[in-house]
Chains A and B, each alone.
Chain A
Amino acid sequence: MISFLLARLVGAVVTLFFVSALAFFATAFAPGNPAAVLLGNMATPERVEAVTRQMGLDQPTGIRYMIWLRETLSGNLGTSNLSFKPVNDLLAAALPATLELALASLLVAVVIALPLGLLVAQHRDSWWSRPTSALVTLGISVPGFWVGLILIVTFSVWLKLLPSAGFVPLSRSVAGNVRSMILPVTTLAIYLIPSLVRFVRVAAIDVLRESYVDTARAKGVGPWAILLRHVAPNTLITTITYIGLQLGVLISGAIVVEVIFSIPGIGRLGMNAVLNRDYPVIQGVVLVAATGYVAVNLLIDIAYALIDPRVRTG
């Protein structure tokens, strides 16, 4: 168990190292001079050259990478080319909103999709199972932002119940924060739920065909106990893996939702940075996203070991 987790930890560090290198070189080799972007169309060539030197952009790429790596490892991600604020501060300001959005949406999605998928699987022959599955499939083909726009029109334009934009930090007002997050979280959860339900349904049907489910039936276990004690835990194993693989979908979905609802999160920060060639911020955002990805996968491995004795003791 310990050695299993240590191996995963080493893997995580190696992954992060490569992602950081990728983040640096992708921006370093991108066309266009950040100094020129920064100074705008009116700048003289001499001025551009001076700023280029000032930003250290005239150095060979290898040396710039070593400097960047040293600074990054010591926790300094540089300054924004745009606002001249430290990237660290920008990320720290944007992170809570994104974390809240992503985690709350994932939680809502799992809490709804897991029981729904299990039920649809258990009652796969009843009259309501097929229409439900069809509805879910329909949900997969509807783009996530479309749902968001419908929600905005319904709940803030027509009913004037919820704000359509703006984010209230938890630290300022809990009630305000919840109010401002209901629509974004709903949008992102609705975006995640259909494919999750479909996956859980297929996984649970596989588990229901397993011989140990027959064993449970043959010893007189009732249908609910079979679903909860035998089918659900075994379905969870594959579902957790699937959630890990879907993390990219969660991140890209979060970016779209942040932009729609004007939430000052990592996604919007990254979006603006890309539009303005603000390379230090781009690198910071990529690093944060990658760290989140790696951390979640580490959590998934731990969850694995907790659920599955074959991983723990095998």
Chain B
Amino acid sequence: MTKVLLEVDSLTVRLGHADSAATLVEELSFSVAAGEILCIVGESGCGKTVTARSVIGLNRNEPGFHTSGKIMFDGRNLLTLDEPSMRRIRGARMSMIFQDPMSSLNPLHRIGTQIEESLAIHGDLGRRERRERTVELLSQVGIPDARARIDDYPHQFSGGMRQRAMIALALAGNPDLLIADEPTTALDVTTQKQILTLLERLRNDYGMAVIFITHDLGVVAEIADRVMVMYAGKCVESGTVREVFHAPQHPYTAGLLASIPALNRPKLPRLQSIRGAPPVLSEGRPEGCAFQPRCAHAFDACSTEPPMTSTGELDHLDRCWLLPAQKRHLANAMEVNA
């Protein structure tokens, strides 16, 4: 295996004061190897964004957030790192792009200025060199005629171009890890596809690891090396895309996959169609397995929380009380449905 770049260990994020605090992310552990694309999937509100923001330290200064556990990046625990050191990591070693490219660029600053700002913070390039580098970055992400567009304002760019500019901005510091929080959700299908291709190409060219958050299992199938399925702030299953898609061990994963007509068809619907709704984390989590109320396979044991167990296959973990034989049945049933 290649070198582990990021190792998250028992990450727990609470929001609010003392006894009224809600647990948004609980005991979450995962790792990302250098150059790897990890997809995080799960329904809305399951804590994907909170996880991503915790990794890059965006909610460490937000009122009411309490984060515990360990986030090891390059041998250092980011959770105990002081803010100035963390700032030297953000934008340089690790960067992030967001869901809505319409609002993630400052409307009052030129596109070029916003990229140059990052170059000025993290490098020692002079004014001219920064500008040259910015043109280079913009061309690299596929902005046509980058030299002429560098002084444009965000409102003069289309949604797809803004997301490209955001990627250029994220690349400015040559990061080892890019966190992309639903970067294609707000874009049309064609643009979506182009952005995915771009991210994959950048990963291949630079060996940059990517944490890609999405609702869309089609996207996962297309770009991920590994996938982590989250439910109610916890990881319920993780493994290589191949393992998880062909032999899902958790009824929730199986349900998500079953709601897709066929994975190799080009147009895939967004995931959903498991009956019921996930628990609202701010109102406290249910006893035992959080998926139990929606699970067709629930039995007595499910009233206590199942531990993460390995299937025996490399890195394939899941959190479910069903017996291995029953879990195998899940995969088969799904294939019959499909």
Contact = CB atoms under 8 A, between A and B. Distances in A.
Interface of A: 124-125, 210-212, 214-222, 229-230, 233-234, 237, 307-310, 313-314
Contact of B107 (A124, A222, A308): A308
Contacts of A237: 108
B153 A220 contact: no
Interface string B141-174: 0000000000001011000000000100110110
Nearest to A312: B153
Contacts of B58: 214, 217-218
Given A125-B63, A220-B122, A211 B107 contact: no
Contacts of B91: 218-221
Interface stretch (B96-104, B212-220, B264-272, B287-295): B96-104
Contact of B95 (A125, A210, A218, A309): A218
A149 to B, nearest CB: 40
B155 A309 contact: yes
A214 B121 CA distance: 16
B87 A222 contact: yes
12 contacts: A211-B100, A212-B107, A215-B106, A217-B90, A219-B90, A219-B118, A219-B172, A220-B88, A220-B91, A220-B173, A229-B109, A229-B117
Contacts of A220: 87-92, 118, 121-122, 173
A275 B172 CA distance: 69
B155 A216 contact: no
B229 interface: no
Interface of B: 56, 58, 63, 87-92, 95-96, 98, 100, 103-110, 114, 117-118, 121-122, 153, 155-156, 166, 169-170, 172-173
A310 B155 contact: yes
A309 B107 contact: yes
Contacts of A308: 107-108
A214 B155 contact: no
Nearest to B121: A220
Nearest to A124: B63
A12 B170 CA distance: 46
Nearest to A236: B108
A222 B118 CA distance: 11
Contacts of B118: 219-220
B104 A234 contact: no
Nearest to A207: B106
A310 B155 CA distance: 7
Contacts of A221: 87, 91, 117, 121
A234 B103 CA distance: 13
Contact of B106 (A217, A234, A307): A234
B92 to A, nearest CB: 6
A244 to B, nearest CB: 19
Given A219-B95, A221-B91, A234-B107, 8 more contacts: A215-B104, A215-B106, A217-B90, A219-B121, A309-B107, A309-B155, A310-B107, A313-B155
A125 to B, nearest CB: 4
A143 B106 CA distance: 39
B96 A218 contact: yes
B103 A211 contact: yes
Nearest to B108: A233
Contacts of A307: 108
A221 B119 CA distance: 11
Contact of A212 (B96, B104, B153): B104
A214 B108 contact: no
A234 B104 CA distance: 14
Contacts of A233: 108
B178 to A, nearest CB: 11
A219 B108 contact: no
Report the 8 A-B pairs with minimum CB-CB distance, sorted nearest first: A219-B91, A220-B91, A309-B153, A220-B90, A219-B118, A211-B103, A125-B63, A218-B96
